[in-house]
C-alpha cells in the first residue's frame, strides 16, 4: 500500500515536471482572433484586499465594457477583436510578480500586460516590463521617484502621483482654514510605519512646519496595530484642531471607531488609505460625514456616475474613490492608444500613451513626462459622496466642511 502511494507521488512529480517543460514551448501559431491581455494580480496574501478593491474589479469591468462594445479596432489589420485574458496570482510577493510577468511576456506571448496592485510591486516589476518593452500603466503606485523612473524605464507610466502631492495639498488646504480662523495652529500626525505612511509623513512634516503649524504630535505606529486608544488619548489632551493619520485600511477603520468611542472629535479628521473605500460609510455609520482623506472624485461628473453604476452592477461593489477611477482611466488610455496605432505595436502604443490626449472617465487626460498629473489629492465625505476638495490642476469640486460635524456617539 505504502509502496504504491510513494510511486504515485513520484510519478506525479515526474508528470508535473514534464508538463512544466512542455508549457515552456513557445506558442507557434499566432492566429489573431483576440487581443490577448495578461496580468498577475494579488489574489492571496497581504495585498489581496487592496487589489480586490482598486484593481481587479476595474480590469474585469474594462474587459467587459470593451467586449460588450465589440472589442478594440485594429485598423491596420482591418479587424475589431475582443479581449482575451490570461491571469495569474502573484501571491503578493515581488519574486512571483517578476516571474509571472516573464511568463506572460515570453511563454504566453500576450499582447499587453496590466500591472499588479501597490507601490512596491509596481516598482519591483518595472525593470521586467521595460526589458520586454511592454507599457506599464501603474495605476496604484504612489512614488515621488516617478520623474526618475520614467527616465530609467521609458515604457513606464505613473498614474497616482507621489507622497509630496498629497501631503502638500493637504497642508495648503489647512493653511486656508487656519488663516480664515476656523482651526487653530496645532496639528497631530500619526503614521503607519510602512512605505506609504513614511513617504507621506516625510513630505508632510516639513510642509506643516514651513507653513507655520505647530506639530505637537508626530509619531509612527507599527503596521498591524489594532488598539489606538493610547494614541488617541495622548492626542486628545494636546488641544489640536487637526488630526492627520497616514494610515492603512484596517487602521483607518479602527482609528475612526476608537475616536468615536473616546469622543475625540477634532475639527479636521483626516485619514489615509481606506477613507475613500466604498465600505467606509458602512463602517463609520453616520460619523463618516465630514471625515477627510486621501483621494476624492468629482461628484458632478456624469461619466464618473455612469462608471460607478457599471462597476457596482458588474462587481457587486462600488469602486473606491481614489485609485479605482484612475486605474479604469489608465485602461481607457491604453485602449484608445491601441486603436490610434491600429496594430499591436508596443513601441508605438507606448509613444502614443506618452504624447496623446485621451478621453476618460476622469476627463481629458494628457500625461506629463509619462505621469498623470491631474489628480484629486484631498477628499471629504459629504452627503454620502467622497468629494474632491483639492486637485493638482483645477479648483476643488466642493468647499471643505470645517469643522466637521461632531461624532454621533456609538449606540
Binder to another protein among 85, 145, 279, 283 (CB under 8 A)?
145
Rounded CA-CA distance 292/271 in Å is: 6
Q: Does 182 bind another protein (CB under 8 A)?
A: no
Binder to another protein among 71, 82, 147, 195 (CB under 8 A)?
195
**Which C-beta is closer to another protein: that of 323 or that of 341?**
323
Q: Are 177 and 152 in contact (CB under 8 A)?
A: no
Minimal distance, residue 97 CB to another protein, in Å: 9
Rounded CA-CA distance 247/191 in Å is: 6
Q: Does 218 bind another protein (CB under 8 A)?
A: no
Q: Does 315 bind another protein (CB under 8 A)?
A: no
Minimal distance, residue 221 CB to another protein, in Å: 10
Q: Are 246 and 216 in contact (CB under 8 A)?
A: no
Q: Are 171 and 268 in contact (CB under 8 A)?
A: no
Piece of 218-226, 281-289, 347-355, 387-395 that binds another protein (CB under 8 A): 218-226
Rounded CA-CA distance 165/182 in Å is: 24
Q: Is 342 exposed, middle or buried (0-12, 13-18, 19+ CB in 10 A)?
A: middle
Site string for another protein, 12-41 (x = CB under 8 A): -x--xx-xx--xx-----------------
Q: Does 84 bind another protein (CB under 8 A)?
A: no
Cα–Cα distances in angstroms (integers) from residue 211 to residues 38, 95, 174, 249, 400, in the given order? 46, 42, 9, 29, 19
Q: Does 184 bind another protein (CB under 8 A)?
A: no
Cα–Cα distances in angstroms (integers) from residue 187 to residues 158, 171, 178, 204, 405, in the given order? 31, 10, 11, 11, 19
Minimal distance, residue 72 CB to another protein, in Å: 25
Q: Does 85 bind another protein (CB under 8 A)?
A: no
**Which C-beta is closer to another protein: that of 87 or that of 339?**
87
Cα–Cα distances in angstroms (integers) from residue 25 to residues 29, 124, 191, in the given order? 12, 27, 49
Q: Are 361 and 303 in contact (CB under 8 A)?
A: yes
Minimal distance, residue 379 CB to another protein, in Å: 24
Q: Does 226 bind another protein (CB under 8 A)?
A: no
CB atoms within 10 A of CB 208: 24
**Which C-beta is closer to another protein: that of 220 or that of 392?**
220
Q: Are 131 and 154 in contact (CB under 8 A)?
A: no
**Which C-beta is closer to another protein: that of 3 or that of 33?**
3
Minimal distance, residue 405 CB to another protein, in Å: 34
**Which C-beta is closer to another protein: that of 98 or that of 170?**
98
**Which C-beta is closer to another protein: that of 42 or that of 265?**
42
Site string for another protein, 104-143 (x = CB under 8 A): -xxx-----------xx--xx-xx---xx-----------
- Give me 124's grid cell: 519591483
Piece of 64-72, 84-92, 371-379, 394-402 that binds another protein (CB under 8 A): 84-92
N-term to C-term CA, the chain? 62
Q: Does 198 bind another protein (CB under 8 A)?
A: yes
Q: What is the DSSP string of 60-122?
A: HHHHHHHHHTT-EEETTTTEEE-EEEEEEE-TT-HHHHHHHHHHHHHTS--SEEE--SSHHHH
Q: Does 154 bind another protein (CB under 8 A)?
A: no
- Kindly report the CA angle at 351 between 162 and 63, in degrees rounded to 5? 75
Q: Does 339 bind another protein (CB under 8 A)?
A: no
- Containing 19, the helix (H) or strand (E) segment is helix 2-23
**Which C-beta is closer to another protein: that of 102 or that of 339?**
102
Chain residues that interact with another protein, rule: CB under 8 A = 2-3, 5-6, 9-10, 13, 16-17, 19-20, 23-24, 43-44, 46, 87-89, 91, 93-96, 98-100, 102-103, 105-107, 119-120, 123-124, 126-127, 131-132, 145, 152, 193-195, 198-199, 202, 220, 222-223
Amino acid at each position: 500500500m505504502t509502496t504504491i502511494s510513494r510511486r504515485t507521488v513520484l510519478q506525479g512529480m515526474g508528470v508535473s515536471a514534464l508538463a512544466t517543460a512542455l508549457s515552456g514551448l513557445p506558442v507557434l501559431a499566432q492566429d489573431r482572433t483576440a487581443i490577448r491581455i495578461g496580468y498577475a494580480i494579488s489574489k492571496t496574501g497581504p495585498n489581496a484586499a487592496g487589489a480586490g478593491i482598486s484593481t481587479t474589479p476595474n480590469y474585469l469591468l474594462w474587459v467587459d465594457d470593451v467586449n460588450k462594445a465589440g472589442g478594440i479596432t485594429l485598423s491596420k489589420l482591418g479587424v475589431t477583436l475582443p479581449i482575451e485574458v490570461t491571469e495569474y496570482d502573484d501571491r503578493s510577493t515581488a519574486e512571483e510578480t517578476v516571474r509571472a510577468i516573464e511568463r506572460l511576456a515570453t511563454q504566453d506571448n500576450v499582447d499587453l500586460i496590466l500591472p499588479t496592485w501597490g507601490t512596491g510591486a509596481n516598482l519591483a516589476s518595472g525593470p521586467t516590463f521595460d526589458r520586454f518593452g511592454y507599457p506599464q500603466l501603474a495605476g496604484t503606485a504612489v512614488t515621488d521617484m516617478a520623474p526618475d523612473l520614467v527616465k530609467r524605464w521609458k515604457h513606464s507610466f505613473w498614474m497616482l502621483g507621489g507622497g509630496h502631492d498629497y501631503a502638500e495639498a493637504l497642508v495648503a488646504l489647512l493653511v486656508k482654514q487656519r488663516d480664515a480662523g476656523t482651526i487653530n495652529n496645532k496639528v497631530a500626525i500619526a503614521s503607519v510605519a510602512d512605505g506609504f505612511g513614511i513617504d507621506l509623513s516625510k513630505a508632510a512634516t516639513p510642509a506643516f512646519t514651513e507653513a507655520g503649524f505647530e506639530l505637537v504630535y508626530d509619531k509612527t505606529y507599527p503596521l498591524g496595530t489594532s488598539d489606538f486608544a493610547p494614541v488617541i488619548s495622548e492626542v486628545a489632551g494636546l488641544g489640536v484642531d487637526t488630526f492627520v493619520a497616514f494610515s492603512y485600511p484596517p487602521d483607518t477603520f479602527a482609528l475612526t471607531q476608537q475616536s468615536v468611542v473616546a469622543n475625540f472629535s477634532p475639527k479636521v479628521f483626516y485619514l489615509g488609505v481606506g477613507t475613500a473605500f466604498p465600505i467606509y460609510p458602512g463602517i463609520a455609520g453616520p460619523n463618516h460625514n465630514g471625515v477627510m482623506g486621501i483621494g476624492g472624485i468629482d461628484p458632478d461628473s456624469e461619466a464618473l456616475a455612469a462608471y460607478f453604476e457599471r462597476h457596482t452592477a458588474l462587481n457587486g461593489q462600488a469602486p473606491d474613490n481614489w485609485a479605482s477611477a484612475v486605474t479604469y482611466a489608465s485602461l481607457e488610455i491604453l485602449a484608445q492608444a491601441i486603436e490610434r496605432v491600429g496594430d499591436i505595436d508596443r513601441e508605438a502604443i507606448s509613444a502614443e500613451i506618452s504624447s496623446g490626449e485621451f478621453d476618460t472617465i476622469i476627463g481629458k487626460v494628457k500625461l506629463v513626462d509619462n505621469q498623470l498629473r491631474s489628480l484629486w489629492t484631498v477628499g471629504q465625505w459629504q452627503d454620502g459622496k467622497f468629494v474632491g476638495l483639492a486637485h493638482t490642476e483645477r479648483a476643488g469640486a466642493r468647499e471643505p466642511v470645517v469643522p466637521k460635524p461632531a461624532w454621533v456617539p456609538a449606540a
